Structures are given as structure tokens and as C-alpha cells.
Structure 1
Amino acid sequence: MRITGFHIATGLMMAFLITGTALADQHKSQAPYGHRDDTKLSNGIIGISLQVGAERIGDPAILYVGMVHPEGPAHQAGLGHGDEVVSVDGTPVKGKRYEEVVGMIRGEAGTAVKVGVRGENGLRELSITRVAGDKLSRGTSESHGNPAP
């Protein structure tokens, strides 16, 4: 399933950068929807943001890739905007809390994580090596193929 602008308009979306930095360098107290303190997460990242969406109001929520850092390992592995995240290291994400999935994806820099996704290229599993959060530049993540402002 490909996510469209409608999914965002339904109000069933929230975003949290797995890169560990906000696109606009927002202060932690300004983080949307009260996400937990980012400093408690491992520093190893893959350079994506996740969003929550649904096909229709009342449908089960899904996690999908919102933005991909153009210099990050996720981009190099072929992860793209709109890909639905279905598993992490072989564990299905269906029914898991958003924060749980973020914690599953993040880990020690230099270690690999296997992310199962469903997208334009069908169902596939990508092995992505995490990098240290400070290795990726801030404010250059892409959304819909365009650089962030």
C-alpha cells in the first residue's frame, strides 16, 4: 500500500526522527505529541523518520517511512518514502507501540538492523548498518523527494 496525502489529512499521523535530530532543530520541550526523551535511546541510527497512518479512519494503524536522510544508510539500502515498516529483525511490528518500534530500529552504531518493508518493490527485508547520530548532517532529510527547508 502506498501512502498518499489523504493519510496525512486524516489526522492519524505523527512523526519522530529516528536520526535523533529534529529537522528544524526544535528544542526537546517542543517535540510534538510528547515523545520520550531522545537521550535515552541508543545513538546508532539509520537516517529515517517514521509516521503513523491508516488507509481509512478506524482501520488499524501502520508505520511508514516519512523522510529519508539522503546521506544515511537507509537511503543507501533502498528504503524510500512511503514504505510500510512490517518487521524489525524478523519481529512483526503490528500491535507494537510507536516508541517500541523506534527502540527496535535504533541500536549501537556499527551494528546492523534488518527492516522488513512493503512498498513499490513489494515485500522485502533490508539489512541496514546503523551510524552514529552525529555522523549525519542536520536539516537535509528528504520528504517526497525534496530537501527539507
Structure 2
Amino acid sequence: MRFPAFTVAVTREAGLWTAKVTDGLDGAAGEFKQFGDVDPGMRKIVANLTGLPPERFHLRWCYEFDDADATDLVLQYQEAERVAEEVAQWREGVRARLVATLNGQIPQRAIADLVGLSHQRVNQIARGPAPEAAEVVKPGRWVPL
């Protein structure tokens, strides 16, 4: 099933993030103090104007600052942030499993040296729940083997 798509132009004006649908949805605009509020805020505005739930339409984003198109860079940065978060979660899970596995086999100070943490932090991790192997999921294609 094809869903309608709307292009949203985002700019920065007078200390606010300004977003406006540019292709045929009159009145679909908003101003936001925080950048993180733009996406959910515009989805709510478009949903209210179209009567469609947010999962039944797509938003295409366009970012312009001082008449320069920064869309590709903003989208690349957002993807990099998503990948970095996945990798950080993977690292935390693997580290917790490693600490749980080695705890009691070698001193916690040695484990701390191995994983680059303080021995106090290793002790905290060792006292916490260790994730099962199935819970520690390696991120997708962006992570080198």
C-alpha cells in the first residue's frame, strides 16, 4: 500500500526551528524550541490536518540554513548517531558479559585494565545482571567485522 508523502522544509529563524510542509498541505507549519521536537511535532500537525495516523504517511525532510541546502549532511549525521547508539549498546552488552565471565577468574582490577574502566565500575557491572548471549546483538552493516 502506498502512503502519501509530504516534504517538510526545516530552517532556523529567530532562535526557533521552523518547519513547513512545502507540497500541498496548507497550514502545515510549526515552530519548535528543540530540534528533537520537530519530527514528532510535524507528524502530529500533518496527522491533524490529514486525518491520517502518523504511520500512514511519510515525511521527506529538507534542511536549509542561510539559503544553503544541508539536507544530505543532516541526514548523514542522524544515521551516524543511530549507528553509534547501536554500537554503544552492543559494546555495553559485550562488556557486561565479559565482566560476568571473567569475574572470579581474574582480579577485578585486571578486568578493569582489560576493558578500560575503573575497578569500582567493574565491581558495579559484576554485581548487576549479565545479559544472555542472545541479548547482545551485533549491529548491522556499518560495523566492521
TM-score, normalised by the number of residues in structure 1: 0.21
More helix by share: 2
More strand by share: 1
Quick check: which has more Rg, 1 or 2?
Answer: 2
Q: More relative contact order in 1 or in 2 (CA 8 Å, sep 6+)? A: 1
